[in-house]
Amino acid sequence: MTEDIDWAAIADVLESQAEAYAPAITQALAELGEPAPRTILDIGSGPGVVSGQLATAFPDAEVTAVDGTPELLERAENRAKRQGFPLRTTVAQFPDGLAELEPADLVWSGQVVHHVGDQQDALHRLAALINPGGALAIVEGGLPIRWLPRDFGIGAPGLPERMDVIRTERFNAMRAELPGSRAVLEDWPAMLRATGLIEARSKTFLIEHPAPLADGPRRTVRAILERERNGLDEDLTAEDRATLDRLLDPDEELGIDRRPDLFLLTAKTVHFARRP
């Protein structure tokens, strides 16, 4: 990984989001079909939420969580012990450390590839880890999160859309500044076919937690907005900063902790391919 991000510091956010997005991953795993994998690598596993889903979906498989942050792998191990699923863990940096791993029948990687400058090279390295007849599944892209109606009674309507614009500009700048950054047409099936894989395709899975929002997804929305309030601060208008502050105020009647119209709606796109 080439970005200067303290992944351990945002472990709670990573875990909360992964739990909220779990229904989409369950649907994606059902798309893999037969034969069931006997060995699985979860590349960029973070705190191990998806690793647990992989272990549940394929109970006869040996699942290995791979991440460059030992603290996240420790959380993954603790999660496995609490929930009672077997899990191996390996510390390896992405993508340079992939060559040290043993190949597997299924290689899963969620929202990791876009963090390196040469995405096509990263896909080549991931494809090299797949056993003959095995599968690769990459989570990249989808739709931005939505959490309240267009006009939710505080500030100017359209705040999520304005945040989308800032987030996109930040993402483009991040990509441009990565070492070895290469612009590429992000046709993911074509990029996967360029690695020699076959049957490449993409499918998008909806994540919908309707209002009134349950406690778990509500905490996820709070964690996301808190991080974005801090991360986008310099580019937000004073009015939008004030709006987010009111939304995050636990004593605010129209804040996200109290309002019954809060929801969580987004989508994740998974790109699948197989080794001949």
Strands 198-209 and 264-274: antiparallel
Does the residue 255 lie in any domain? yes
Sole residue written with tokens 């991360």: 231
Q: pTM (2 decimals)?
A: 0.94
For helices 11-20 and 22-30, angle between their N-to-C axes, nearest 10 degrees? 60
The confidence score (pLDDT) of residue 34 equals 87
Does the residue 172 lie in any domain? yes
Does the residue 1 lie in any domain? no
The total domain count for the chain is 1
Sole residue written with tokens 């800032």: 166
The confidence score (pLDDT) of residue 176 equals 96
pLDDT digits (tens, 9 = 90+) for 132-150: 999 999 999 999 999 999 9
Q: Is 90 left (phi over 0), alpha (psi -120 to 50) or beta?
A: beta
Task: Specify the DSSP class assigned to residue 10.
Answer: G
The confidence score (pLDDT) of residue 1 equals 41
| Contact (CB, 8 A) for 140 and 111 | yes
Does the residue 2 lie in any domain? no
pLDDT digits (tens, 9 = 90+) for 243-272: 999 999 999 999 999 999 999 999 999 999
pLDDT digits (tens, 9 = 90+) for 161-174: 999 999 999 999 99
CA of 142: how far to CAs of 85, 108, 145, 189, 196, in Å? 29, 17, 9, 15, 25
Domain extent for 110: 7-274
What CATH number is associated with residue 115? 3.40.50.150
Closest residue by Cα to residue 22 from 51, 59, 58: 51
Sole residue written with tokens 């340079």: 96
The confidence score (pLDDT) of residue 2 equals 44
Does the residue 258 lie in any domain? yes
pLDDT digits (tens, 9 = 90+) for 77-135: 999 999 999 999 999 999 999 999 999 999 999 999 999 999 999 999 999 999 999 99
